[in-house]
Amino acid sequence: MSIRPMQEEDLPQVLSIEKASFSTPWGRWAFLAELKPPGYAFVYEERERVLGYAVLRIVRDEGHLMNLTVAPQWRKRGIGSDLLRFCIEFCLHRGVTSLWLEVRESNEAAISLYQKMGFVTKGRRKGYYQDTGEDALLMELSLRKKTVQEAKVEAVRSMGPLCILELSLKEAVYYEPGQFVMIEAPGRPLMRPLSIFDLEGKTLKLLLRPVGAGTRALVKVRTGETLRVLLPLGKGYPMPEGQKEAFLLAGGMGIASLFPLALKLSRKGIPVKLLWGARSSSWFPAPLLWQLTEGSVGLELVTEDGSMGKKGVVTEVLPKKWGTALIVYACGPKEMIKRILRIIPPHVKVYVSLEERMACGVGTCQACILSGRGGNKLVCRDGPVFEREEIGDPMS
């Protein structure tokens, strides 16, 4: 399956789905007009068959979802959500801050999908649909970059030395793997920066390891409590530009940001190999390994005590040869990142995610300094993901 821009040649298939779906379908000219900006049209295709499509209009920072249709016989298989998710991501990349749509008041299935993705009813257009005179609900998804929210704790799942904190947000937020949140640590004066492990609409998951005062306080929270979060922060991992294969290097908790990246790349059809190193086998919770394998991520594990996978650390089991078709993403302890940057030859594109103490997360406190080439950078604002060229080597 793939989602790609709609071409004129797709129109016969698109029009037949449109006719089968609506009593007042769009005509050929209506679609043709949306094939060029400000229109953006996409088809969901499987084995050269169009199963669904979406039409967007983007003017400055405002997007409008004009049409989202799945062929009647292919509904209830998640194709609509995939198309919608694709449109939301597309809007994010274009700097859209709010995405609007109209939906028939009686179309409960569509309304519930939109609500799940974070759309909120903002108004009503009286007699919008000419065939039945029905009202349309006007819904909006706010893609405004950063928000402070009270998040409700839904679950705290302990998995060996790691823990997954699941929270529900008041307002839906969209993100890129590599971005992070600042989260209140009960009873501590400062919020904690944590990578976004998973975030879909209003459900936020954070992977953490209770070692410091803040993370220990976080894993003790009870279901139903609320925690203040500021998100999404920083810059995420850029997608490959022409590279054919992705190689992800995770040292210990570095998996927190590389996990969603691995799944995202894999969904985009890019072959992903993930090398994950940790102290011992207890660091690799079965559900996470299963999710990665299920997502077609090629997984290689390495442990310091040899209790699972190869014995050693990530930097000891790296390949000897590095082709230019490869793109590398790394996240882990500073020492590992330093060594990786020395080992991987300069012709390979490498992105690393760095950690530093920070208080604000938005660039005001100036604590998370990185002395790199071309002056100081802030990990929270200019990172946490950096291209190797941006940082000095070796890092101080």
Partner 1 sequence: MTPCLETHIGSLRLKTPFMPASGTFGYGDEYTGIISYEPLGAIVTKSLSLEPKEGNPPPRIHELPCGMLNSIGLENIGIKRFLEERLPRLSELGLPVVVSIFGESEDEFMKVGESLKGVPAVSALEVNLSCPNVKRGGAAFGADPERVSFIIRELRERVDLPLWAKLPPDPFHILEIAEAAQKAGAHALTLVNTLPAMAIDIQKGRPVLGGTVGGLSGPALMPVALKMVYEVTEKLEIPVVAAGGISCWEDALAFLLAGASALQIGTALFSNPRVFSEIHEGVCRFMRERGVRRIEDLKGKAHEVEDRPL
Q: Min. distance of Cβ 373 from partner 1 in angstroms?
A: 14
Residue among 16 and 364 whose Cβ is closer to partner 1: 364
- If binding is defined by CB under 8 A, does position 335 make contact with partner 1? no
* Closer to partner 1 by Cβ: residue 15 or 362: 362
Contact (CB, 8 A) for 99 and 61: no
Q: Does 92 bind partner 1 (CB under 8 A)?
A: no
**Does 385 sit near partner 1 (CB under 8 A)?**
no
CA distance 292 to 301: 12
- Region of 390 (left: φ > 0; alpha: ψ -120 to 50; beta: rest) is alpha
Residue with tokens 């609506």: 22
Phi/psi at 11 (5° precision):
-60, -40
Does residue 357 belong to the site contacting partner 1 (CB under 8 A)?
Answer: yes
Stretch that binds partner 1, among 11-19, 287-295, 316-324, 369-377 (CB under 8 A): 369-377
DSSP assignment letter at 365: S
Closest approach of Cβ 13 to partner 1, in Å?
A: 42
Q: Does 95 interact with partner 1 (rule: CB under 8 A)?
A: no
Reading the block at residue 168, the tokens are 């529900």
Q: Which SS3 state, helix, strand or coil, does residue 39 take?
A: strand
Query: What is the smallest separation between the CB atom of 177 and partner 1, expressed in angstroms?
Result: 22
Q: How far is CA 336 from its chain centroid?
A: 25
Least separation in angstroms between residue 330's CB and partner 1 is 20
| Cα–Cα nearest to 323, from 351, 352, 340, 345 | 345
Q: Which of residues 99-128 bind partner 1 (CB under 8 A)?
A: none
Query: Do the bridges between strand 369-372 and strand 375-378 make them parallel or antiparallel, or are there none, so unpaired?
Result: antiparallel
Verify binding: residue 239, partner 1, rule CB under 8 A.
no
Is 395 a residue that touches partner 1 (CB under 8 A)?
no
Alpha-carbon distance 97 to 91, whole Å? 8
Round to whole Å and give the CA distance between 267 and 296: 9
384: preceding bond cis by omega (within 30 degrees): yes
- The residues annotated with a catalytic role in the active site are 102, 114
Question: Judged by CB, which is closer to partner 1: 57, or 381?
Answer: 381
Nearer to partner 1, 192 or 388 (CB): 192
Q: Which two tokens stand for residue 263?
A: 């799944």
Residues of the chain by 3-state class (helix, strand, coil), percent to 5: 25, 35, 35
For the bound state, the minimum distance from the C-beta of residue 232 to partner 1, rounded and expressed in Å, comes to 12
| 373 makes contact with partner 1 (CB under 8 A) | no
Tell me the two tokens of residue 214: 């803040």
The CB-of-235 to partner 1 minimum distance in angstroms stands at 15
**Cβ of residue 249: shortest distance to partner 1, in angstroms?**
23
- Contact between 366 and partner 1 by CB under 8 A: the answer reads yes
Burial 116-150 (b: 16+ CB within 10 A, else e): ebbbeeeeeeeebbeeeeebbbbbbbbbeeeeebe
Q: Taking CB under 8 A as the criterion, which residues in 164-193 touch partner 1?
A: 184, 188-191
Q: Is 360 in the site for partner 1 (CB under 8 A)?
A: yes
CB-based contacts of 115: which residues, under 8 Å, 6+ apart? Answer: none
Residue 374 binds partner 1, judged by CB under 8 A: no
Interacting span for partner 1 (CB under 8 A) from 30-38, 194-202, 274-282, 352-360: 352-360
Task: Annotate each residue in 124-153 with x if it binds partner 1 (CB under 8 A) or - if it does not, as one string.
Answer: --------------------xxxxx-----
Nearest approach, Cβ of residue 142 and partner 1 (Å): 11
CB closer to partner 1, 356 vs 390:
356
CB 179 within 8 A of CB 232: yes
Listed ranges 57-65, 217-225, 264-272, 356-364: which one lies at the site for partner 1 (CB under 8 A): 356-364
Number of residues that bind partner 1 (CB under 8 A): 31
Q: Which two tokens stand for residue 159?
A: 């998995």
Q: How many CB atoms lie within 10 A of CB 76?
A: 8
Quick one: which H or E segment has residue 375?
strand 375-378
**Among the residue ranges 52-60, 236-244, 276-284, 355-363, the one whose residues contact partner 1 (CB under 8 A):** 355-363
Complex with partner 1: residue 4 or 228, whichever CB lies closer? 228
Binding site for partner 1 (CB under 8 A): 144-148, 184, 188-191, 213-214, 228, 230, 356-360, 362-369, 371, 375-376, 396
